[in-house]
């Protein structure tokens, strides 16, 4: 690599730190000339340091701090960078425009709101505020009171936001992602219009408007675009691979209107948020959009051992698209990643817990370990095993399994069958039916409570008389579902009861009530896998409800410290983090890679990037596990699973296969030890 001569800056101390704290490739990137620059920062390569030092360098050579725009994706990242910058250049750091796209958009719009028909005191709607206005807009559009199960406000909110962020018509998005909502398209289009009108009438904006109205400002008012071009002499974008078309269009338009100084920083190999609207081409085609752009690569990895880095290099090399890269570890030698086949998913969960306990006994704190999974539902058996073994953990990927609304729904059906006087379970199930609110649900519950056999009274004319006319069909469906579950023999076959629930009307309810319905159905199927280990529905419910107390804990047990909490997370939530020991379970085809993603253009490459993000979180040891047999919903015979292509496509010399003993808790062996 060619040497670079440090530019002369005013502060000798800062010059010394540039030379001491940055390696050669980092210095090349931090001291990049004016113009368009793309910095490809591999995992653990010091991305945040390079961005911070580049801003410090620009200020040191005379660029006014207030003319630098640094756009990040989280407030935490912005605070961290400004904090580091302050340690380099002092209070001047606070004058840099640093923040998320939405934060910057808010600051700009406060200055020009009147030009767009808003008052400068416009309100920013939080999620609950948005839901309230969307409910009213849906009513305006005739989505309620039709006697049919209309999509829920939360789903409409998610849908309208996604349409905005990908810049595509609602009809296209419905056809691709929500074909079950196609019959509602006219009303949804009207609801979108009504929602926009209500926001404007209320002098309020949601988070998307902070970008949309900013974009409108520079499109409709050329003087505003020119002013922002003069205002921001240098623009830096963090995590370029995560931007959507709206965000990149904003900053690139402003850069073109100004000096043209745009530095994009990111890693195309870690582009994994397409489901949120991120556009992979924003980083991949940056050189095409900016002819003459300079490319800098940070390939020295300070996080992981050479063995882990070699494994990750071999993995991402199989992708068809992306910038060629080869990371080099700056650390001393360690151990190869370990691949462990298990008999089934139950043994996989047991092995993971056993290995976590062994690492803990060796002195590794629980919070230095993480289990990273592709699908949230793949954690249910592990969560149950962790509870059984008394291992404290936190779930970074959302609610703990038994706190999730759809799991509570499913359990409520079964609680009714085990205890027909369970008032809370009756209320929850009744409130799932369109047209039945709190008042009607209370009246029906009170009526059933007076009966010696509430289930027998459920299907009578007297009960049906309490049900609103528009809800009678749905209520009859509930009666049929409960009878079907009872006929499955749940007393001795809990998994069959869950299968009966999924064959009834609940999946249709779930699809209109919640977002990501396919993921939620998969969750309930995994509940069936867990249920297959129980001999009675009553025992399953009792243990799950007791486990729920543990799963729902918001505070640590007395005497525990944060260091004694294991991390469970989806890979998407783990991006940017690192742990000493990382465990990646359920590495089988259809699960990882996800079978739905494989049917989409570029889906396999994105799934491999998700795998790449997972394995590059590991600092010292990496464990990869996969069950040899898998059961769908705990019903029927198990089938042979196919190991993930992300493991089988890698040279076997780069990882260490492990064979579990018959009773694996006495230890496992490597093939060369047999």
pLDDT per residue over 63-87, tens digit each? 999 999 999 988 888 888 888 898 8
Tokens in use for 286?
């940056």
Count of CB atoms situated within 10 Å of the CB of 198: 16
Residues 415 and 392: beta-carbon distance below 8 Å: no
Exposure b/e, 485-508, CB count within 10 A at least 16 = b = beebebeebbbbbbbbbbebbbbe
| pLDDT tens, residue by residue, 134-170 | 989 999 998 876 666 778 888 899 999 999 999 999 9
pLDDT of residue 666: 39
- The answer to whether the peptide bond before residue 465 is cis (omega within 30 degrees of 0) is no
Interatomic CA distance for residues 546 and 603, integer angstroms: 40
499 assigned ligand-binding residue: no
Q: What percent of the chain has pLDDT over 90?
A: 53
Determine whether 315 is exposed, middle or buried from the number of CB atoms within 10 Å of its CB (0-12, 13-18, 19+).
Answer: buried
pLDDT of residue 555: 32
500 assigned ligand-binding residue: no
What DSSP character marks residue 90?
Answer: G
To which residue do tokens 């849906």 refer? 138
Compute the 3-state secondary structure of the chain and give helix, strand, coil in percent, each to the nearest 5: 55, 15, 30
504 assigned ligand-binding residue: no
CATH tag for 311-376+553-657 (out of 3.40.50.410, 3.40.50.300, 3.30.1490.190, 2.40.128.630):
3.40.50.300
Dihedrals phi, psi of 97, to nearest 5 degrees: -80, 95
Residues 125 and 201: beta-carbon distance below 8 Å: no
Residues 381 and 579: beta-carbon distance below 8 Å: no
CA 18 remoteness from chain centre: 36
What DSSP character marks residue 269?
Answer: G
| CA distances from residue 355 to 27, 317, 562, 586, 638 in whole angstroms, order as listed | 41, 30, 20, 16, 25
45 assigned ligand-binding residue: yes
To which residue do tokens 């509570």 refer? 408
* Average pLDDT, integer, range 604-614: 97
46 assigned ligand-binding residue: yes
What DSSP character marks residue 274?
Answer: G
488 assigned ligand-binding residue: no
* Average pLDDT, integer, range 13-39: 91
Residue 117 has pLDDT above 50, yes or no: yes
| pLDDT tens, residue by residue, 395-413 | 876 666 767 888 888 888 8
| pLDDT tens, residue by residue, 533-575 | 787 777 777 667 655 443 333 333 434 446 689 999 999 989 9
Residue by residue, DSSP assigns 570-614 as EHHHHTT--EEEEEE---BTBTTTBHHHHTSTTHHHHHHHHHHHH
pLDDT of residue 662: 53
| pLDDT tens, residue by residue, 208-259 | 999 999 999 999 999 999 999 999 999 999 999 999 999 999 999 999 999 9
Residues 6+ apart with CB under 8 A from 277: 162, 165, 166, 244
Dihedrals phi, psi of 79, to nearest 5 degrees: -60, -40
What CATH number was assigned to the domain covering residues 402-551? Answer: 1.10.486.10
CATH topology of domain 12-111+217-298: Rossmann fold (3.40.50)
More confident residue, 533 or 474: 474
Chain mean pLDDT for the chain: 88
Interatomic CA distance for residues 567 and 574, integer angstroms: 10
Give 312's pLDDT tier (boundaries 50, 70, 90).
Answer: very high
pLDDT of residue 180: 83
Residue 668 has pLDDT above 70, yes or no: no
Residues 271 and 241: beta-carbon distance below 8 Å: yes
Residues 497 and 485: beta-carbon distance below 8 Å: yes
Q: What percent of the chain has pLDDT over 70?
A: 91
pLDDT of residue 288: 96
Q: Which of 20-34, 432-446, 507-521 has the lowest mean pLDDT?
A: 507-521
| pLDDT tens, residue by residue, 267-295 | 999 999 998 889 999 999 999 999 999 99
* Average pLDDT, integer, range 292-307: 97
Tokens in use for 259?
């000096």
pLDDT of residue 405: 84
pTM, full prediction: 0.82
119 assigned ligand-binding residue: no
* Average pLDDT, integer, range 184-203: 93
41 assigned ligand-binding residue: yes
Residue 96 has pLDDT above 70, yes or no: yes
């Amino acid at each position: 690599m060619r040497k670079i001569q440090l530019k002369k800056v005013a502060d000798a101390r800062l010059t010394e730190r540039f030379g001491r704290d940055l390696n050669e490739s980092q210095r090349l990137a931090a001291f990049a000339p004016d113009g368009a620059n793309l910095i490809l920062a591999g995992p653990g390569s010091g991305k945040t340091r390079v961005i911070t030092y580049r801003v410090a360098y620009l200020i040191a050579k005379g660029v006014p701090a207030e003319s630098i725009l640094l756009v990040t994706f989280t407030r935490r990242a912005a605070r961290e960078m400004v904090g580091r910058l302050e340690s380099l250049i002092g209070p001047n750091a606070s004058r840099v425009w640093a923040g998320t796209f939405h934060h910057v958009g808010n600051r700009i719009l406060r200055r020009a709101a009147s030009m767009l028909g808003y008052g400068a005191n416009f309100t920013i709607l939080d999620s609950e505020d948005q839901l309230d206005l969307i409910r009213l807009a849906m009513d305006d559009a005739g989505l309620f009171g039709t006697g049919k199960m209309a999509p829920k406000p939360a789903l409409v909110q998610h849908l309208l936001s996604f349409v905005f962020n990908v810049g595509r018509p609602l009809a296209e998005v419905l056809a691709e992602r929500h074909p079950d909502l196609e019959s509602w398209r006219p009303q949804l289009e009207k609801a979108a219009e009504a929602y926009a009108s209500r926001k404007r009438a209320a002098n309020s904006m949601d988070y998307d408007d902070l970008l949309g109205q900013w974009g409108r400002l520079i499109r409709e008012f050329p003087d505003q675009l020119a002013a922002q071009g003069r205002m921001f002499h240098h623009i830096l974008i963090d995590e370029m691979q995560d931007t959507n078309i709206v965000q990149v269009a904003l900053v690139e338009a402003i850069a073109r209107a100004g000096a043209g100084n745009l530095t994009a920083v990111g890693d195309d190999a870690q582009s994994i948020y397409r489901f949120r609207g991120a556009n992979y081409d924003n980083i991949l085609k940056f050189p095409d959009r900016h002819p003459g752009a300079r490319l800098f690569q940070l390939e020295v990895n300070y996080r992981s051992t050479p063995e882990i880095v070699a494994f990750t290099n071999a993995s991402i090399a199989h992708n068809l698209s992306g910038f060629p890269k080869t990371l080099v570890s700056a650390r001393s030698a360690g151990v190869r990643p370990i691949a462990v086949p298990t008999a089934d998913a139950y043994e996989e969960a047991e092995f993971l817990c056993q290995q976590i306990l062994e690492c803990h006994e060796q002195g590794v704190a629980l919070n230095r370990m993480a289990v990273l999974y592709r699908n949230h539902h793949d954690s249910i058996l592990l969560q149950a095993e962790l509870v059984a073994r008394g291992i404290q953990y936190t779930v970074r990927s959302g609610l703990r399994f038994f706190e999730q609304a759809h799991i509570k729904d499913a359990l409520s059906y079964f609680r009714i069958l085990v205890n027909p006087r369970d008032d809370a379970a009756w209320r929850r199930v009744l409130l799932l039916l369109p047209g039945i609110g709190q008042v009607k649900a209370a009246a029906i519950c009170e009526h059933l409570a007076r009966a010696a056999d509430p289930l027998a009274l459920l299907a009578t004319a007297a009960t049906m008389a309490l049900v609103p006319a528009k809800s009678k069909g749905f209520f009859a469906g509930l009666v049929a579902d409960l009878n079907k579950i009872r006929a499955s023999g749940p007393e001795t076959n809990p998994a069959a009861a869950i299968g009966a629930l999924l064959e009834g009307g609940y999946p249709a309810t779930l699809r209109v009530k919640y977002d990501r319905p396919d993921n939620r159905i998969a969750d309930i199927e995994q509940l069936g896998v867990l249920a297959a280990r129980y001999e009675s529905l009553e025992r399953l419910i009792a243990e799950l409800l007791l486990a729920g107390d543990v799963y729902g804990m918001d505070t640590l047990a007395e005497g525990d410290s944060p260091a004694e909490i294991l991390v469970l997370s989806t890979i998407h939530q783990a991006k940017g983090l690192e742990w000493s020991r990382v465990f990646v379970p359920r590495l089988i085809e259809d699960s990882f890679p996800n079978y739905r993603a494989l049917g989409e253009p570029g889906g396999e490459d994105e799934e491999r990037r998700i795998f790449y993000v997972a394995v590059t979180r590991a600092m010292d040891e990496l464990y990869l596990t996969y069950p040899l047999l898998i059961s769908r919903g705990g019903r029927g015979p198990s089938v042979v699973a196919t190991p993930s292509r992300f493991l089988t496509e890698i040279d076997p010399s780069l990882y260490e296969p492990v064979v579990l003993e018959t009773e694996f808790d006495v230890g496992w062996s490597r093939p060369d030890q047999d």
